[in-house]
Amino acid sequence: MNKERMITVTNFSKQYKGFTAVKNLSFSVEPGQILGLLGPNGAGKTTTLRVLCGIIPPSSGSLLVAGHDVARAPIEAKRNLGYIPDDPRLFDTMTVWEHLAFTAAAYKLADFEKEAEALLASFELAHKRDTLVHNLSRGMRQKVAIACAFLHDPKVILFDEPLTGLDPQGIRGIQQAIRDRAQAGAAIIISSHLLSLFENLCTHIMVLNHGECRRFGTMEDLLKEVGHTDSTSALEEVYFSITQAPDQSSDTAVVS
């Protein structure tokens, strides 16, 4: 597998009208790695993902997706990127299949039908192919958003709370899909409050608090450091020790 860094974030900061939401963040993610982004409400997770996928601009620093600067070369960066927001917006008056066809047209994919059929089958949506998304359940809508994000086979995938609204079967399916994508060489970031999701999936963990990186490392190192064999307990311990500690400024963590 090519170990070129697929996501490279260097000294990234984001201010909203003078309020610093993310401060001096640096990290990278390689193909096959799954980074879990953890942190309390307002820590800066969604802001980081939204800047990485070019929805909002950074205030400073550089963010590269597959080698393309998201601010200077947004089209090239987006061509390599799949983003699943926490509240995916779909078109109520379009069917499931029309969403996939629309996405294929946006990415100029010539032969998308086979891949689209496979995605619908893997997300157990084949029977809803011609249903308006307005008439789908919340979990099904989430799966449509994920199928659309996967259609162009992105090298970088960003998930903001991917399991919202999914049933246990759906959760298992999405986890497997994420694992498969990583194994096929995608670099993935997942933001979630569900520590058990990280235990099952992530190779790396970053804890954000008040917009700053408080911890970045491999899941393995984290477990060794805390001395737990159970990843969820280890993550809980690290999470609470960081987020309940008195506020402190830290150096930027640069880890690859």
Residue of the chain from 3, 4, 16, 72 that contacts ligand ATP (CB under 6 A)? 16
Rg (CA), the chain: 18
Query: 41 vs 93, which CB is nearer to ligand ATP?
Result: 41
Interatomic CA distance for residues 17 and 8, integer angstroms: 26
Which of 6, 18, 19, 25 shows the shortest CA–CA distance to 208?
Answer: 25
Task: Give the interface segment with ligand ATP, choosing from 15-23, 118-126, 171-179, 234-242 (CB under 6 A).
Answer: 15-23
DSSP for 45-56, please give it: HHHHHHHHTTSS
Query: 131 vs 164, which CB is nearer to ligand ATP?
Result: 164
Please state the closest distance from residue 224 (CB atom) to ligand ATP, in A: 27
Query: 103 vs 191, which CB is nearer to ligand ATP?
Result: 191
Restricting to residues 26-55, which ones interact with ligand ATP according to CB under 6 A?
A: 39, 41-47
Query: 131 vs 243, which CB is nearer to ligand ATP?
Result: 243
Query: 30 vs 160, which CB is nearer to ligand ATP?
Result: 160
C-alpha atoms less than 13 angstroms from C-alpha of 180 in its C-beta half-sphere? 10
Please state the closest distance from residue 206 (CB atom) to ligand ATP, in A: 12
The CB density around residue 145, as the number of other CB atoms within 10 Å, is: 22
C-alpha atoms less than 13 angstroms from C-alpha of 240 in its C-beta half-sphere? 7
Which of 178, 166, 183, 216 shows the shortest CA–CA distance to 37?
Answer: 216
Query: 11 vs 131, which CB is nearer to ligand ATP?
Result: 11
Please state the closest distance from residue 110 (CB atom) to ligand ATP, in A: 36
Residues constituting the chain: 256
Which residues are registered as beta bridge partners of 7?
Answer: 29, 65
Residues touching ligand ATP, count (CB under 6 A): 11
Please state the closest distance from residue 247 (CB atom) to ligand ATP, in A: 14
Contact (CB, 8 A) for 214 and 207: yes
Q: What is the DSSP letter of 135?
A: G
Restricting to residues 80-109, which ones interact with ligand ATP according to CB under 6 A?
A: none
Task: Give the interface segment with ligand ATP, choosing from 13-21, 131-139, 164-172, 225-233 (CB under 6 A).
Answer: 13-21
Binding site for ligand ATP (CB under 6 A): 16, 19, 21, 39, 41-47
